Amino acid sequence: MSTPDLTRRLVAELLGTGLLVTVVVGSGIAAQRLSPDDVGMQLLENSTATFLGLTVLILLFGPISGGHFNPVVSAADWVLGRRAGTGLTGTEVLAYSGVQVVGAVAGAVLANLMYDVPLDQLSTTERTGANLLLGEVVATAGLVALIFALARTGRGMLAAPAVGAYIGAAYWFTSSTSFANPAVTIGRIFSDTFAGIAPGSAPAFIAAQLVGGLVGVGLVRYLFPGAALVADDVVVPHHPHEHTDPAEHP
């Protein structure tokens, strides 16, 4: 068995990120229409669909590309693995991030088409305030720490349900409802619905996510100093080689 070539991995990231945004935006539209007077029920419906959809998408595409679907995760993979010669290269991070953004925008457009939402309207949902940005830092840091902790301790195959559960929970325990993903944030600009974010709010959200990614990397380096050895297996194992027992590497 050989490592999937870069083109196949990029297609997997394109489709995975696109369908993730379709799930987020589509379920947001459905929730808004099914429960028009109950924002709490809308959030419950949206978060449940995202939890289940993300889990399935990681299971489907993870064995090909790792199932990153997130530029912060791809960048963290490079940062942690570069000294050990594992994980993505800098060129691959740029390629992954590019297709993730394209996929995210396409996914929002697909959701709009399915629900007959006008394609020429950007989101008008303002999401501003230091409290929301702090929520994004917390959500993204926790996501990065979780992913690499699972890989480092040989539990990468649990990443699909664990990551899905974390994001589903973070919808509720973070003030920002846990975007935690620059590509998804950009994609959600293109739908003026419950799940959208206004273009003017997106840059600060993305900046907070990058800060959260750095915090997450710092936590991983401190708590799991051998994480670089398993960067090839993030988010889920997708390389043919096998690593030695993580416990053997302090």
Taken in order of first residue, the domains within the chain and their CATH numbers are 6-236 (1.20.1080.10)
Residue 6: Cβ-neighbour burial (10 angstroms; 0-12, 13-18, 19+): middle
Distances (CA, A) of 106 to 10, 59, 63, 171, 183: 15, 21, 23, 23, 11
Asked whether the predicted pLDDT for residue 116 surpasses 80, the reply is yes
| Residues 219/53, Cβ–Cβ less than 8 Å | no
Give me the helices (H) in the chain, please. 6-34, 39-65, 71-81, 90-114, 130-152, 159-173, 182-188, 202-223
Distances from the Cα of 140 to the Cαs of 27, 40, 83, 171, 211, in angstroms?
22, 23, 23, 12, 8
60: Cα separation from own chain's centroid: 15
Q: What is the pLDDT of residues 152-200, one digit of tens each?
A: 999 988 999 999 999 999 999 999 999 999 999 999 999 999 999 999 9
Counting every residue written for the chain, the total comes to 250
pTM exceeds cut of 0.85: yes
